[in-house]
Homo-oligomer: A and B are copies of this chain.
Amino acid sequence: MSVADFAEAKKARSGASAPASDLAATMAEIGRNAREAARILAVAPTETKNDALRAMALTLRDRTDLILAANLKDLAAADRRGITGAFRDRLVLDASRIDAMAKGIEDIVALPDPVGAVIADWTRPNGLRIERVRTPLGVVGVIYESRPNVTADAGALTLKAGNAVILRGGSESALSSAAIHDCMVIGLVAAGLPETAIQIVPTTDRAAVGMMLGGLSGSIDVIVPRGGRGLVERVQTEARIPVFAHLEGINHVYVDRAADLAMATDITLNAKMRRTGVCGAAETLLIDRAVVATHLLPIVQALQAAGCAIRGDEETRDHLGEGVEPATEADWSTEYLDAIMSVRVVDGIDEAIDHIERYGSRHTDTIVTEDPAAAAFFLDRVDSAIVLHNASTQFADGAEFGMGAEIGIATGKLHARGPIGVEQLTTFKYRVHGSGQIRP
């Protein structure tokens, strides 16, 4: 899709200037606009931001027909290219999906505004009062693929945190995203906020992504990729600025010698099979040798009854027999995102932790045990964003954590770790209140 086509698609938005023909100039202007908008958003009152969000939700519902018409054009183009079922499902919108987007924005209205919150406050012997106060990050770049709803979700969440956002969606959903973006801009304008607070890159030229990953000359503070492994890998490899992301979720269920069998079965089944395609799904079951004789077969039978294929290490196969495929070395570091689970017998908790350290992706891991000391040992030593005791890995989710909407889950250790909610899209600064103090 060319810049001109895109401008055409966005003609409903009055006052939009024609994009420059030079991509670099267009992107530089987007960066400057975002930085300017960020200065205004940083001090925008909570109610103004919430007014904009409410107007966005209203406009999305009002314009359901327009959005669906744009989506039909995207779908027709995709059908001509012969897309697959899962891909098509991510792209397709209907009235209930648009209503869910609007509802998601209303949920963000209800979240507390993190900006301006005083995180710490202390007074020095010389009388200086120091406040550590939450401030917006500035400008967030969001790079996503075929799901058009990211346009609404990411735009609303970054706005609530006082940030400007530069959105770059996939070419397949460009018309749908543009139609949704129009609604977001209408909401901004209705509340008196700059329409450049939420910008969408008006071209599907892949070079634009490279420019965003370079930070647009310091105009983008952090990049959040939303999409499959290929996208996240490219972003992590090429980005010259910070990235909040996880590449994969190679998550483990460790069934300890003190595990209750019924609980271990329920948790393993849920962690693997509730939804196999989410990043919080478990991929590997580690089972303590001390309970192999009693626990392994019932857990595996429950998985198999639910349609899960098992790939076992030698000891697992010794117990379960020929019906179980052998796991290769590669299985331990594979995120199946499918109804497959690798199973390994370990010599107690130390070997389980060593396995997770070696093969895991530092996303989410759980121990099932009735022994509080074993649980504490595991929770202290497994260096993952989320470590659980007697609970399913599928709780790895911002909403399940009570953080409201999330824009993803980060496995990096810097700044954001775990669910990336509105608070993780802020930073802080120090406000120091004096009465003429000079330093001796």
**Contact surface of A with B, Cβ cutoff 8 Å:** 39, 42-43, 122, 124, 128, 130, 135, 137-138, 221-222, 242, 260, 263, 266-267, 269-271, 274, 357, 375, 379-381, 383-392, 394-395, 400-402, 413-415, 417-418, 427-439
Contact B380 A43 (CB under 8 A): yes
Contact A381 B138 (CB under 8 A): no
Residues of B within 8 A of A428 (CB): 417
CB A426 to nearest CB in B, in angstroms, measures 9
Given contacts A39-B381, A222-B414, contact A437 B128 (CB under 8 A): no
**A168 to B105, alpha carbons, bound, how many Å?**
49
Known: A42-B380, A124-B401. 12 other contacts (CB 8 A): A39-B357, A42-B381, A124-B402, A267-B438, A274-B439, A379-B431, A387-B432, A388-B432, A389-B432, A391-B436, A395-B439, A415-B415
Residues of B within 8 A of A263 (CB): 436
Contact B417 A414 (CB under 8 A): no
Given contacts A130-B401, A417-B429, contact A390 B436 (CB under 8 A): yes
Contact B383 A138 (CB under 8 A): yes
**Residue from A43, A375, A400 whose CB has the most chain B CB atoms within 10 Å:** A400
Given contacts A135-B383, A274-B439, contact A388 B434 (CB under 8 A): yes
Residues of B within 8 A of A427 (CB): 413-414, 417
**A436 to B436, alpha carbons, bound, how many Å?**
58
Given contacts A124-B400, A439-B400, contact A385 B429 (CB under 8 A): yes
Residues of B within 8 A of A357 (CB): 39
Residues of B within 8 A of A260 (CB): 436
Residues of B within 8 A of A392 (CB): 437-439
Residues of B within 8 A of A138 (CB): 383, 413
Q: Which residue of chain B has its CB nearest to the CB of A241?
A: B414
The prevalent SS among residues of A at the interface is mixed
Contact A391 B429 (CB under 8 A): no
Interface CB pairs A-B, < 8 A, 30: A42-B380, A43-B380, A43-B381, A128-B391, A138-B383, A138-B413, A221-B413, A242-B414, A263-B436, A266-B436, A266-B438, A269-B438, A270-B438, A383-B429, A386-B430, A386-B432, A388-B432, A389-B431, A390-B435, A390-B436, A391-B432, A391-B433, A391-B437, A391-B438, A395-B432, A413-B427, A414-B415, A414-B427, A415-B415, A417-B429
Residues of B within 8 A of A383 (CB): 39, 42, 135, 138, 429
CB A171 to nearest CB in B, in angstroms, measures 29
CB A407 to nearest CB in B, in angstroms, measures 15
Residues of B within 8 A of A431 (CB): 379, 387-389
CB A222 to nearest CB in B, in angstroms, measures 7
**A222 to B271, alpha carbons, bound, how many Å?**
32
Residues of B within 8 A of A128 (CB): 391, 395, 400
Residues of B within 8 A of A434 (CB): 388-391
Residues of B within 8 A of A413 (CB): 137-138, 221, 427
Q: Which residue of chain B has its CB nearest to the CB of A270?
A: B438
**A401 to B430, alpha carbons, bound, how many Å?**
10
Residues of B within 8 A of A270 (CB): 438-439
Q: Which 3 A-B pairs have the closest CB atoms?
A: A391-B434, A270-B438, A388-B432
Residues of B within 8 A of A242 (CB): 242, 414
Residues of B within 8 A of A386 (CB): 429-430, 432
Contact B438 A274 (CB under 8 A): yes
**A310 to B128, alpha carbons, bound, how many Å?**
29
**A122 to B391, alpha carbons, bound, how many Å?**
16
